[in-house]
Amino acid sequence: MRIFYLLLALLFTTAANAQQNPQYSQYIFNSMGINPAYTGSKNVLNLNAFHRSQWTGVDGAPTTQSLAVDGVLANDRLGVGLNLTRDEIGAQSTLSAYANIAVKLQLSENSVISLGLAPGLVQNMIDGTALGHFEGDDAIPSGKEVYIKPDVKIGAYYHTNRFYAGLSASDLLQYKDMEQIEPERHFYFTTGYVFDVSPFVKVKPSVLIKEDFNAPANIDLNAFVLLGDRLWLGSSYRTSMNLMGEAEGEGLSRPTAVALIAELQVLKTLRLGYSYDKMLNGLSGYNTHEVSVGYYFFKKKKETKMLTPQYF
């Protein structure tokens, strides 16, 4: 229980920490939750769901579930989608729903740039009954307190058959209500490229940078191998680094975790993924598991034959 209360203390006293936003590893296969401009990029009706159990064995450790669906309209020029996420840590839970819209502009035969917008609602709940009774501490509610606020995300996403780059921002509406934890604005940059090693093997390095300009940036360095256009195997190294000089006196970087990730294209329509995260800090004894499932809904058989391998 000491770890449980330590987590709660960190939660209530580090409102600017980047971990306010849900952490998950398999955004590499579906980035709609990070960047609304990614919506509709696969040009079919796409369903994706995942469950993440972080630091298994720790009371009150974070758990996250997400369901995302997206597709295209207007001759594949407009991406539309819905993203639902539930994130829970200790006595606090967050439920969010975003409606994603992305306008796709064809720059050439193989290159597309998308501009995305995602208005949404975020519900934060603190369950004081899970914390017990602390006499004289007005900061801890005696029951359940619920706060609902609107929010919006924006993004831009460029891709060819082998290269992609995206820039996005979340938590854009700020209220600074002292009665609840207000996430800082977060900015994301992603990029990656797919190389041919042989007709059977491809390699995809990529990077994700998450910055809020108030703390060291979170950086994911990823490397994946694709076998036979069906099986992705790879790893992600997660660290934090002072890119903008936010935290004086700290080291240039701090390793946080390494993730082993796999995704199998079981059928043309069905994908299954799994990731195992090993912490590289004081929580190294507690590991994280994440499972995902994806499904393509095709309107006609011709679409199944025309679908090219999804590299990102």
- 66-121: pLDDT as tens digits: 999 999 998 889 999 999 999 988 888 899 999 999 999 999 888 999 999 999 99
CA distance 165 to 188: 11
CA distances (Å), origin 194, targets 51, 226, 270, 277, 310: 27, 9, 22, 24, 11
- Overall average pLDDT of the 178-197 stretch: 84
Phi, psi of 276 (to 5 degrees): -125, 120
The radius of gyration of the chain's CA atoms, rounded to the nearest angstrom, is: 20
Whether 18 shows a pLDDT value over 50: the answer reads no
Task: State percent of the chain over pLDDT 90.
Answer: 51
Contacts of 278 (CB under 8 A, 6+ apart): 257, 258, 259, 260, 284, 287
- Overall average pLDDT of the 152-170 stretch: 95
- Which tens digits make up the pLDDT trace of 197-241? 999 999 999 999 999 888 888 999 999 999 999 999 999 999 888
Contacts of 293 (CB under 8 A, 6+ apart): 48, 49, 50, 270, 271, 272, 273
Parallel, antiparallel or unpaired: strands 63-73 and 78-89? antiparallel
- Overall average pLDDT of the 192-197 stretch: 95
pLDDT score for 307 = 54
Question: Which domains does the chain carry?
Answer: 23-297 (2.40.160.40)
CA distance 246 to 251: 11
pLDDT score for 312 = 82
- Overall average pLDDT of the 114-131 stretch: 87
| pTM score | 0.85
